[in-house]
Amino acid sequence: MAIHFDAPSRTFRLDAKDTSYMFGVLDDEGFLVHCYWGPKLTDNDAGMFYRQIPSPASHERERASIMDVMPQEFPTEDLGDFRDAAFGILDESGHEASLFLYRSHRILSGKPSLEGLPSTFGNSDECQTLEVILEDPVLHLKAVLSYTVFENLDVITRSVRIENEGTSPVRLTRVLSACVDFDGDDMDLVSLWGGWARENNAQRMPVRHGRQSVHSARGESSNAYNPFMALMEHTAGEDFGEVYGFNFVYSGNFVASVEMEQHGLIRALMGIDPQHFGWKLDPGSAFQAPEAVLVHSSRGLTGMTQTFHDLYRNHLIRGRYAHSLRPVLINNWEATYFDFNTDRLLEIASLAAKQGIELFVMDDGWFGSRRNDNSGLGDWYVCEDVLPGGLKPLADGINALGMKFGLWIEPEMVNEDSNLYRAHPDWTIRVPGRQHSRKRNQLVLDFSRREVVDAVWSMIRKVLSSANVEYVKWDMNRILTNLGSAALPADRMQELSHRYVLGVYDMQDRLTKEFPQILLENCSSGGARFDPGMLYFSPQIWTSDNTDAVARLKIQAGTALMYPLSAIDANISIVPNHQTGRVTPFSTRGDVAMCGTFGYQLDITKLTDEELASIPGQVEAYHRLNPLITSGDYYRLHDLFIQDDWDAWMVVSKDRGEALVTYVRILSRGGDGIYSRIRLKGLEPDAMYRIDGTDQILSGQLLMHAGIRVPLPRGDYASASLHLIRQ
């Protein structure tokens, strides 16, 4: 059993692979208090962890003081705990006070799904779920706290459902999915920050007194911050020490916060950002919060990363491509932008097919009046001036070359110069009387409305049914502003942001169910919606619009901190690069793009003969190595965010039978010579490994402790890739 309940002390112990998580009922009043989260324990009596906590019920004289330091599992507002709360409310009388107390619990085999929301999954052999029922006896609200334990991973997931069992509506002002209180040990906060074309930069800083957080109120998880944070011992590092990782299975507004109060106690919270959030909860109705994933590691950041990767590969990503090889694609965007026709696309595809490329993707510009980015969004029908006869002749032509066919869509957006907008201007998110806040000259459709989702899906469905489409790139190129819906009354207007995300999930659910053969790839101005919620629907996500190989090193390293390499879409593009102007070798671009799904974003007709001749070898290497890359254990061999003149990483198979090592010299320094030495990780010490393509055989012990010298040509941006095979 993964979940244990000690009845005499009313204590819960949740045992994952090498981790225990404990909490219990403090007294007869029913306060639910956190006890422990860390390396696995076997002591059934966890009551020792909270017996020294004074009971508010038996110390009424200092009730408020006790509440201010009590380590609560689901803290609320306005009754003495002045730290950030997991729950907030405004009742009909205008009061903010609430208090949830333990009433009962039940233990379930497996893991129930969350209605309307993506979540991790597992069967009865893989996980158990604990539901703890709390009640506010004054407001007649019920909170169901859900904890799922994955027995073979150091993972516990958390979510909460609020039910109104009273006779009056209440207004929820915050419903966060997870809260963990830590003792005041020295800890550091790790998070990811960025922007367009520079996503997911890792940063580490000491947890200090006060509140520190990353968040998004942009309507998307955002490329400014990722819905992730980790707390780690100040002395912990890449491969050692205690680390506690948090990730949010949600694609909208979020907050991940940590607060050290005056006594040095630390509280970590994760959930929907209370900014732009409110929810009117009528009698008899319920609100389901999204899921938070909690990962513990005693092996530093490496252990955390590998646990997240294993969880998402096996218990989040679904569909036919979850564990199968993705086709090598070529996208026409950087080759043609809006200037193309059938002949031009077939010219690119024909040359690509001869090199072994397997999927041709037609990007923006094929529909409505879309000759530039000022018009056409919302009119999802093929423009026959561009593609005579519609989509089928082109798709058939691509298929005749032995390639799959895919296309780009942006269904959440609309241009004012479109038939859809002219017919339904009220279908956009807007505040009456306010000037539109345009971005990329487009507005956002109100996906909180079922009729809008239905109408857009009807058009998209017709397009996808008209030809043999086997890949869709779903883009979303702007943030949400002017938050107003013509369909929501004033007392529900703050529900818009969350209802919008539910609408997106609804449509992606329809797409994946009705067209299971389609490989769906999500994108949002690059990586602005690279989150676990999107991974539930699409096994890969466009990581960044910045395709420069050197810039991609940090972007991909930060992303891989918790997201598996199989989810990272990485492509080779032309030089000078369209985003940075940098010129890098074709081989280096290939080595960097190999760290994930693999493809090309370029005009293949303009490559040099040498570059063109390299493609078949790259495609063959992808086919040979991708099973290792997408299922093995990922190791960082260098911290690029501390020293950025080189980078190295490796992937080791689960049986430690093979490994792929990649090294990139970013800036050459005088006196470095032509060799760089790196120490490898994760190999079997007593095994012997041959470097593929050579006669050199070395022991795992030697490779990990003494390291290996990587020969590189002189100059900047050189790379090398070594494939090790156990003998």
Length of the chain: 727
603 is catalytic: no
Which residue of the set 84, 363, 364, 545 is catalytic? Answer: 545
For CATH 2.70.98.60, the residue range(s) in the chain are 3-315
pTM above 0.85, yes or no: yes
The answer to whether the beta carbons of residues 469 and 405 sit under 8 Å apart is yes
Query: Residue 672: is its pLDDT beyond 70?
Result: no
Q: In whole angstroms, what is the distance from residue 715 CA to residue 712 CA?
A: 9
Instruction: Write down the pLDDT at residue 60.
Output: 75
In which residue ranges of the chain is CATH 2.60.40.1180 found? 646-726
pLDDT in tens, 289-320: 999 999 999 999 999 999 999 999 999 999 99
Q: Which of 136, 154, 446, 475 is catalytic?
A: 475
Neighbours of 283 (CB within 10 A): 13
Q: For residue range 215-255, what is the model confidence (pLDDT) as tens digits?
A: 999 999 999 999 999 999 999 999 999 999 999 999 999 99
pLDDT digits (tens, 9 = 90+) for 498-536: 999 999 999 999 999 999 999 999 999 999 999 999 999
Helix (H) or strand (E) holding 281: strand 279-281
pLDDT at 439 over 60: yes
Contact 580, 592 (CB under 8 A): no
What is the distance between the alpha carbons of residues 24 and 400, in angstroms, rounded to a whole number? 64
Q: Where in the chain is the domain with CATH 3.20.20.70?
A: 329-413+455-477+517-631
Q: Is 545 a catalytic residue?
A: yes
Q: Which two tokens stand for residue 52?
A: 């020294």
Bigger pLDDT: 52 or 217? 217
Read off the pLDDT of residues 392-417 as tens digits, 9 standing for 90 and up: 999 999 999 999 999 999 999 999 99
Rg (CA), the chain: 27
| 646-726 under CATH 2.60.40.1180, yes or no | yes
CA dihedral 629, 635, 637, 638 (to 10 degrees): 100
Does residue 281 contact residue 172 with C-beta atoms inside 8 Å? Answer: yes
Tell me the backbone φ, ψ of residue 189, rounded to 5 degrees. -105, 130
Q: pLDDT (tens digit, 9 = 90+) per residue, 144-175?
A: 999 999 999 999 999 999 999 999 999 999 99
What is residue 395's predicted lDDT score, i.e. its pLDDT?
98
Checking if the pLDDT of 46 tops 60, the result is: no
Cβ 633 vs Cβ 649: under 8 Å: no
What pLDDT was estimated at residue 128? 98
Alpha-carbon gap, residue 356 to 21, rounded angstroms: 50
- Check whether domain 3-315 has CATH 2.70.98.60, yes or no: yes
Q: How far apart are CA 416 and CA 412, in angstroms?
A: 13
* Topology annotation, domain 329-413+455-477+517-631: TIM Barrel (3.20.20)
Strand 718-726 relative to strand 658-665: parallel, antiparallel, unpaired? antiparallel
Distance in angstroms (rounded) separating the CA atoms of residues 244 and 229: 8
